[in-house]
Amino acid sequence: MAAPALAKGKPAATDKFLSEPEIAKLKRIKVDLVAPPMVHKHEQVVTGAPRIVEFRMEIVEKKMVIDDKGTTLQAMTFNGSLPGPTMVVNAGDYVELTLVNLASNAMPHNVDFHGATGALGGAKLTNVNPGEQVTLRFKADRAGTFVYHCAPEGMVPWHVVAGMSGTLMVLPRGGLKDPVGNPLRYDTAYTIGEFDLYIPKDADGKYKDYKTLAESYTDTMEVMRTLLPSHVVFNGKVGALTGEGALKAKVGETVLFIHSQANRDTRPHLIGGHGDWVWETGKFDNPPERDLETWFIRGGSAGAALYTFKQPGVYAYLNHNLIEAFEFGAAGHVVVEGKWNDDLMKQVKAPGPTTA
């Protein structure tokens, strides 16, 4: 049996350290982020020296409608979206993020990258008040999908469940590989952020609407302490990834589904499909598992699944606690074009009256 080649060897973190003059000589590239579920253009395989990849994110506090009944969330966001945009670099590159806290915001914020080393993930070095900005650099020396989130001392869970999380994807320089080292490539990457929301209700059982972010604090904390979310949504809203917002693919296309959950466990599943190759703990230097029906994302992590579509139709991508999916909102669609394959599945006889 072939050994899982990628599981061998020292952790990436023991690579040699560069001095500041050496880092200054590295090539810089600037990346414009795009809104989820899309992921900005990137290379899956790179050669040559590490680069410094510059990103800029604005923190935006705003009231958002989170379901079709008009329920509102006093949300806190990176770049105005839930989740924040996905950032992609290659292992060994440096991430250089400028974080802007808009003057129109009310709260102090920061950012903790699970893909970074030291200073509480960068949180200690990125505290910004409204009207301030800060720039942080860190070496992305471990491959994988990693959560990033806001973590202001004293109010961490509130900022996270109000929307402040996203994914940093650090691809191995040689690209993704299966357990025996064969290359794995994708045609499209989609990023899905799952959010457990805790919207307070009034005495009549109706969801409360707040004039300001601060005024939602105490009631929201009370609901959070029950550990019972009122909504569980993909990308900020019940139905965000259905209808107009549905993900798209073609038969034969390989899609990478990145799934982040910064606070609470989830169990993604593609109805009618599978996870061909899945890193459910999200770290690419470990061998992926194949043929998974349902995988598991730990609260506080991001995972990734590859799937090559073989049949056309509308698929559902959801959290397979089906109550969380269909009652609370954690479900989306993938609309796939192409030719039906009778060998994989055929309706031999359509439904009709029972016969003796």
Partner 1 sequence: MSKFAHIAVAMVLGAGLAPAAAFATGGADATLAVAGEKLYKTACVACHSSGVANAPKVGNKQVWAPLIARGMDSMMEIAIKGKGAMPPRGASSADDATLRAAVEYMARSSQ
Residues with catalytic function: 109, 112, 114, 149-150, 159, 164, 269, 293-294, 320
- For partner 1, the closer of residues 202 and 215 by Cβ is 215
The CA-based angle 132-133-134, given to 5 degrees, is: 135
Which of 18, 54, 125, 217 binds partner 1 (CB under 8 A)? It is 217
Among residues 211, 339, 346, 349, which is the contact residue for partner 1, using CB under 8 A? 211
Q: Where does this chain touch partner 1 (CB under 8 A) — which range of 111-119, 189-197, 211-219, 319-327?
A: 211-219
**Residues composing the chain:** 356
- Separation CA 275–CA 125 (nearest Å): 38
Peptide bond into 83 cis (omega under 30): yes
Q: Is 154 in the site for partner 1 (CB under 8 A)?
A: yes
Torsion of CA 340, 321, 333, 191, to 10 degrees: -120
Residue 212 sits in the site that holds partner 1 (CB under 8 A)? yes
Lay out the sheet containing 87-90: strands in order across: 87-90, 165-171, 144-149, 112-113
Q: Which is nearer to partner 1, 42 or 208 (CB)?
A: 208
Tell the smallest beta-carbon distance from residue 106 to partner 1 (Å).
3
Sequence-distant (6+) residues with CB within 8 A of 99 are: 57, 59, 109, 110, 111, 126, 128, 133, 134, 135, 136
**Cβ distance to partner 1 smaller for residue 22 or 153:** 153
- CB-CB contact of 247 with 190 (8 Å): yes
> What part of residues 62-121 is at the interface with partner 1 (CB under 8 A)?
105-108
Stretch that binds partner 1, among 25-33, 215-223, 255-263, 337-345 (CB under 8 A): 215-223
Closest CA to 113 of 260, 234, 7: 260
Q: Considering the rule CB under 8 A, would residue 152 count as an interface residue with partner 1? A: yes
The sign one gets for the Cα dihedral 251, 38, 66, 112 is positive
Q: Which stretch binds partner 1 (CB under 8 A): 75-83, 210-218, 259-267, 322-330?
A: 210-218
In the bound state with partner 1, the residue whose beta carbon lies nearer, of 210 and 296, is 210
Q: Please return the burial class of 64, using the count of CB atoms within 10 Å of its CB with bins 0-12, 13-18 and 19+.
A: middle
In the complex, the smallest distance separating the C-beta of residue 227 from partner 1, rounded to whole angstroms, is: 20
Beta-carbon-side half-sphere exposure of residue 9 (alpha carbons within 13 Å): 13
Q: 14: helix, coil or strand? A: helix
* For partner 1, the closer CB: 13 or 203: 203
Q: How far is the CB of 223 from partner 1 (least distance, A)?
A: 14
Task: Check binding of 202 to partner 1 (CB under 8 A).
Answer: no
Please pick, from the candidates 22, 43, 153, 293, the single residue that binds partner 1 as defined by CB under 8 A.
153
Residues that bind partner 1 (CB under 8 A): 105-108, 127, 129-130, 152-155, 158, 211-215, 217-219
